[in-house]
Amino acid sequence: MRAVLVVNPQATSTTAAGRDVLAHALASELKLDVVETQYWGHASDTARAAVEEGVDLVIAHGGDGTVNEVVNGMFSAGDVGDRAMPTLGVVPGGSANVFARALGLPRDPVEATHRLLRAVAERSGRWVGLGRADERWFTFNAGVGWDAEVVAEVERLRSNGRNVTPALYARTALACYFRMARAEPKLTLRIGDESQVGGLHSVFVSNTDPWTYLGSRPVRMSPETSFDTGLGVFALRNMRTYPVLRHVAEMLRGRAKPHGSNLIQRADVAHLRVTCTEPLRLQVDGDCLGERSEIEFLSVPEALRVAV
C-alpha cells in the first residue's frame, strides 16, 4: 500500500526522535513517503499531490490544524465520497487533537501508530461526515464570534512565543468574553428554511461531539451531533454573565445539554447561513480564516473514509 506521512515538525507534542520511530514503524508495513511541512499550506499541497498520484493512504501527524490542511488538500483534488480517494490516517501530535479523540483514537502517537497499522492490515475504516464553511472544510467545529476571537488572540500570543496551554485558552476566553459582553450583537442566523434570527453575539457550529477539549475535559456543546449526523448549532442571544456561566458549567459537566431562553440550539442541521453587520472573524478547526460578512455552512455526509 502506498502512503504519504505528512508531519508537522512544529506540532506541540512531537519530537524528532519520536517522529523517526513512527516513520520507521509505518515504513515497515507501507510503501511510505515522508514529508515534513515547511510553510503554511504545505500539508495541503502534499495531500493534493498524493490524491493526484493515486496514493492509497494519507497520514496526518500533527495537531488539528495539520489534519484540517490535509483534508482540504485532499478535496482540492478529489470528489466527496469518491471511493478512489485515499483513506485518511491520523497520528495525533498536537495539544488538543479533537478530531482524533472524537474518533476514539489513542492520544499517544506510538499507540495511535500501532492502531493505524492494525486498521490498515484489517482494512478497517469508517466514513465520516464533514462540514464546510464557504470553501473551507472542517472536521469538528467552526464558529463566528466569541470562539473565533479566542482563536485569533491565541494565535497572536503563540506567534509572540507564548506556550499554548489550557490555562492560556481559559484566560483568553475570559478576556474576550468581557470585551464582547460590552459590544452590540452583530450576527444574524438562518437555519435551513427557518426564519432568520438577528441580535446574536456568537454562533458555534459542531460537526461532532465534544465541540473541543479543555485539557483532558471535554466541552460538550451539542451532544446529539456526531460524524453520522448533520451539524449542531449553538448561538448566544446575549452575553449576560450568569446565563453564560451556567452554559459553560453545563458544557463541562458531561453529557448535559445546555438550555435556556438566551440561546438557539439545533441538531442534525444540513445548512445554515450567518450574516454580520460588519466583518467578523471566522474560525474552523481552531484556525482563524480572517474576517467575513457572510458565511454558508453545509453538512456533507459520508465525505471521507478514515482508518480506525
pLDDT tier at 10 (50, 70, 90 boundaries)?
confident
Q: Residue 215: what are its φ and ψ, rounded to 5°?
A: 70, -125
Give the pLDDT of residue 22.
93
Neighbours of 116 (CB within 10 A): 27
The CA-based diameter of the chain, rounded to the nearest angstrom, is 58
- The overall average pLDDT reported for the chain is 93
Residue 261: what pLDDT?
A: 81
Rounded to an integer, the average pLDDT of 182-186 is: 94
In the chain, the DSSP E strands lie at 2-7, 31-36, 57-62, 87-92, 125-133, 136-138, 141-144, 187-191, 197-200, 202-206, 212-214, 217-219, 231-236, 263-269, 271-284, 287-307
Which amino acid, residue 87? T
Per-residue pLDDT, averaged over 147-162, amounts to 92
Least confidently predicted of 141-145, 163-167, 221-225: 163-167
Residue 199 pLDDT greater than 80, yes or no: yes
Residue 16: predicted pLDDT: 85
CB 91 within 8 A of CB 97: no
Q: 228's torsion region: left (phi>0), alpha (psi -120 to 50) or beta?
A: alpha
Predicted pLDDT at 79: 80
> Whole-model pTM above 0.85?
yes
pLDDT at 256 (0 to 100): 62
Read off the pLDDT band of 45 (50, 70, 90).
Answer: very high
Contact, 185 vs 200, CB < 8 A? yes
Q: Are 259 and 303 in contact (CB under 8 A)?
A: no
If you average pLDDT over residues 145-157, what whole number do you get? 94
Residues 28-39: what's their mean pLDDT? Answer: 95
Q: What is the SS3 assignment for 59?
A: strand
| Confidence category of residue 235, pLDDT binned at 50, 70, 90 | very high
Residue 163: band (very low, low, confident or very high) from pLDDT cuts 50, 70, 90: confident
Give the pLDDT score at 255: 60
Rounded average pLDDT over 36-50: 95
**Domains of the chain and CATH, by start:** 2-123 (3.40.50.10330), 138-302 (2.60.200.40)
